[in-house]
Amino acid sequence: MMRVSDLLSEHSLQLRLETPSGLKRLQREIARCAPAEHLDPTPYLEPNVLLLTSGIGMNFTEPSIWDGYVERLTRVPVSALAFAVGTAHRSLPAGLIEACVRHDLPLLEVPTTVPLYKINQHVEYMLQAERNALTDRGWRLADECARLANQGAEISTLLAAITAVLEVPIAVYDAFDSLIAQYPSTATWRTGAARAGQPDVFNMTLPMGLAKPCQLAVRLHLPSADIESLLTPVSSILALRLNSSVAVDANSHQDMLRFVNRCVSWSESTRGDVANAFQELGLSRSAETSLLVADLSGEHAAAAWKLRIALHDAFHDVRLAEIDERLIALMQFPREGVSEAEAHLLGVEPDLPLVFREPTRTIDELRISLVHALDLVRHTAEPVVAPLLGLSAVVAAAAGRGARESAKRFLAPLMEHDEQRTTELLPTLRTWLRNDAQPSRTCEELFIHRNSLSYRLRRIEQVLGLSLDTLDGKATCLMALRLVELEPY
């Protein structure tokens, strides 16, 4: 950017500094020139302009008038005042010099041999050269990011390339003001409503063709116009990269929907049906497949973009779909390693209900893991790693092999007993098992005495014809209840 000191170093202009201005004041940028002969030109001035004047009509000597004139200029503020001698004033007015010294405004004397238009012409030429150089830098940056994007680079890599040029932190926000990507990772950014009060940040809307596009945020280190010129070309590359991730996800949405439906439909879909649906996803049958299920309902919807980007950052091959406010993803070929990918995804949002399942090796294992994760995500309030086996998955697998009908017949005597005698044996059994067969917790929830619970449990044993004192009896009742209460996903 052009500064006041640059004008003084330009010998062809023959400018002379008439005030003892410090280095900091002389390093002030010049946005443009503003010729003005008014006693109060401030309504027409922008900050950081170089004011050019010959002092026509300023034929006064009172120091207070000069002081008021300069004070108004410093309130704009102007970068400097270039005063031409010879036309209206043979020399610089003493009152003007004193006022400029008092208000620390650089006063430049323009000799009679240099017309003001020449200074204006020089400044405009230099500023245009700066703008051209900035535009060239912007297109070189866009070209580099386009090359990286063509090689499959993720958003974080593109942001790193931009930061290398800007030398300031940079971030991407979604339409919910949620931070979805940044570089470097150590930078601190505000999110949500607090974004509005974030100082010294330039925000640029990315051209994504969406009703609610993402925004690029940059720490201010240059004038906003300069940052915009520098980032406009590369913003399109970022937008395309973000949209490409969504486009890939959108293309696989129907295939993912079909795969999930076949996985959870144990009674209708065979192993071959699931295998065929998996093949239609375009994933490798020989590679290990990781799994992720996240709850995006309510306030968690803001994490959608961030989670999508994190998935593509962590794995080379990703297939995902949003079904009933849940994001379901299958991932293969981690970019760094499974443990690194796991840590990356679990750290996306600390309060996001998310289940990550470590790599599965077979279609059967993947199917059971998906059913288990869909159940587990309903019972967690934070990111968790799913155990290798869960009861909900075993129950779902058994349901398609006649077990659900057997469970209904097994529990039917309890239902009939409750209907005919207005008892609550079935709710008691359900509550008792849900509380891990702990009498105190069960009685507290049901608001009954411990003796009443003992009586009900003995009656349940008589009706069902089994012992609840054995692990086998408890497990049989638990499986039967889970099978009867099994919900489609």
Residue 24 confidence (pLDDT) above 60: yes
Q: Do both 17 and 151 map to the same domain?
A: no
Of 11-15, 92-96, 240-244, 351-355, the poorest mean pLDDT is in: 240-244
Higher pLDDT, 199 or 425: 425
| pTM strictly above 0.75 | no
pLDDT in tens, 430-464: 999 999 999 999 999 999 999 999 999 999 999 99
Q: Please say which residue of 230, 245, 260 terminates a domain.
A: 245
Q: Do both 22 and 119 map to the same domain?
A: yes
The predicted structure's pLDDT at residue 400: 57
Question: CB count, 10 Å around CB of 344?
Answer: 17
* Cα–Cα distance, 240 to 236 (Å, whole number): 6
Q: Please say which residue of 96, 123, 150 terminates a domain.
A: 123
- Per-residue confidence band for 399, with pLDDT thresholds at 50, 70 and 90: low
189 is a domain residue? yes
Higher pLDDT, 435 or 22: 435
Q: Do both 253 and 382 map to the same domain?
A: yes
Q: How many domains does the chain have?
A: 4
Of 133-137, 392-396, 406-410, the poorest mean pLDDT is in: 392-396
Domain containing residue 387: 248-394
Q: Do both 271 and 325 map to the same domain?
A: yes
Mean pLDDT value of segment 465-475: 90
Q: Do both 239 and 168 map to the same domain?
A: yes
Q: Do both 86 and 115 map to the same domain?
A: yes
Can you state the percent helix, strand and coil of the chain, rounding each to 5? 55, 15, 30
The predicted structure's pLDDT at residue 268: 80
Strand partners, 389: none
Q: Do both 364 and 426 map to the same domain?
A: no
Residue 201 confidence (pLDDT) above 50: yes
Mean pLDDT value of segment 468-474: 90
The predicted structure's pLDDT at residue 329: 94
Q: Do both 141 and 204 map to the same domain?
A: yes
Domain of residue 165, CATH code: 3.30.450.40
pLDDT in tens, 108-126: 999 999 999 999 999 999 9
The predicted structure's pLDDT at residue 245: 63
238 is a domain residue? yes
Query: CA separation (Å) from 285 to 251, 273, 397?
Result: 20, 14, 21
Q: Please say which residue of 394, 416, 448 terminates a domain.
A: 394
- Per-residue confidence band for 306, with pLDDT thresholds at 50, 70 and 90: confident
Query: pLDDT > 70: what percent of the chain?
Result: 94
Question: Cα–Cα–Cα angle for 429, 391, 359, nearest 5°?
Answer: 165
431 is a domain residue? yes
251 Cβ neighbours under 8 A, 6+ residues apart: none
